Structure formats: structure tokens, C-alpha cells
Structure 1
Amino acid sequence: MRALFGRKVCDLKELRELTHQAIKDGQNGQPYTITREVILKDEEFRNFAEDFFKDQDWITAEDGGVNQEGEVRCIRVVNIDTGEKVLVNTEGYSYPRYTGLEI
């Protein structure tokens, strides 16, 4: 599994645009592994996706980073109503410091 991660991306719209451009430029992303999934209802997901700089109570200091195999450790955040997903690597912060889309 590979994903393109952006650092300090402000929202889902910007993440989509950056991902689209990176694919167009021939980037193929980084390998990643899912440490856990967070399932949100549509309204909760939209609130999360509108501001990636906001602290989230479901993020812990242990989330994120890179494992010994060089894979990005991330949370998969899923919109239960639409199936949309965002990958979050917090790098020890309480907000989504790095975000990505599965490619």
C-alpha cells in the first residue's frame, strides 16, 4: 500500500489538489501501515476534513511515525456514511500533522 502524504495541509480540498498534482508529476507515494481506524459520521468527518490543524481527541502521542520497515504508521479516518478515507500521521502531535490519500 502506498500513499502521498502532505505536511501541514489545511483541509481535505487542499489534500485532494496536492495529491492530484503529485500523481500528475509522477510521484508514487510512500509505503504505509494502518495502526487503527477511526470511524466518523458524515458531519463529524466533514468537521475534521475542513480543518486539519485542529486538535483531535482521538489522536494520541503514540500515533504516527515510521516503523522499522520504513512504512509510515497512520490512522485511517473513515466517513461511515460515504466511505471516504483520509490517512493521518501525527508524528506525536495532537492534530493531523501529515495527511494522505490512499492511491
Structure 2
Amino acid sequence: MRALFGRKVLNLKELEEFTKEAKKDGMKGTAYEVVKEIELSDNEFEQFAKELWKDQTWISEEDGGCNEKGELRCIRVKNIKTNKIILVDSEGYTYPRYTALEK
């Protein structure tokens, strides 16, 4: 699986714009591996998506980085009402340092 990861994206709208532009520019995305899944209510997901720069209790410093195959290790964050998904690579931090939309 591949996704277009943006660095230090502030919110869902900015992530959607980044993704649209990256696709338009012909970017193929980065291979990734899901290491953890988080399900959020619609309200929780909306709050998370508005402030992607904030630390989250469910993100640890060990959740990101690369695996032995060179794939990004990430968390799949899912809105249980809408099934919208944001991938998070913390890259050693406790906030979504890199984010992507999952198809």
C-alpha cells in the first residue's frame, strides 16, 4: 500500500489540498505498514482532524519511523461514523508529524 504523506500538516483541509496537489504533480506516494489502529467517534475525529499538530495520548514515540523493508510505520486513525481514515507517522514524536489520507 502507498500513501502521500505530508510533513507537519495542520488540519484535514490542508491535508486534502496537499494530497490533491501531490496527485496532480504525479507523486506516487510512500509505502507504509500499519502498526496500530485507533477508532474515534465522529466528534473525536473532527477535533483530531482540526488540530493535527497537537500531541495525542495514543501516539507514542515508537509508533513511527521505518520498518526493515523501508516502509513507513504508521497508525491508522478511523472515524467510526464516516470511515474516513488518516494515517499518522509520529517519527519519534507524540503528535502526527507526517499524515496521509488512506483510500
TM-score by length of 2: 0.98
Match of 2:18 in 1: 18
Match of 2:58 in 1: 58
Match of 1:84 in 2: 84
Separation (CA, whole Å) in 2 of partners of 1:74 and 1:9: 15
Instruction: Look up the equivalent residue of 2:14 and give its one-letter code.
Output: E
RMSD: 0.7
Match of 1:97 in 2: 97
Unaligned runs of 5+ in 2: none
Match of 2:34 in 1: 34
Instruction: Look up the equivalent residue of 1:35 and give its one-letter code.
Output: V
Deviation sequence 1:36-73 (CA, Å, 0-9, x none): 10000000000000011111011111110011101000
Separation (CA, whole Å) in 2 of partners of 1:102 and 1:69: 20
Compute the displacement of 1:102 (Å).
2.2
Matched, 1:49 2:11: no
Moved over 6 A (4+): none
Instruction: Look up the equivalent residue of 1:43 and give its one-letter code.
Output: N
Separation (CA, whole Å) in 1 of partners of 2:92 and 2:72: 13
Query: Number of residues paired by the alignment?
Result: 103
Instruction: Look up the equivalent residue of 1:66 and give its one-letter code.
Output: C
Deviation sequence 1:64-86 (CA, Å, 0-9, x none): 00111010000000000000000
Unaligned runs of 5+ in 1: none
Q: State the identity %.
A: 58
Separation (CA, whole Å) in 1 of partners of 2:102 and 2:82: 15
Separation (CA, whole Å) in 2 of partners of 1:57 and 1:102: 22
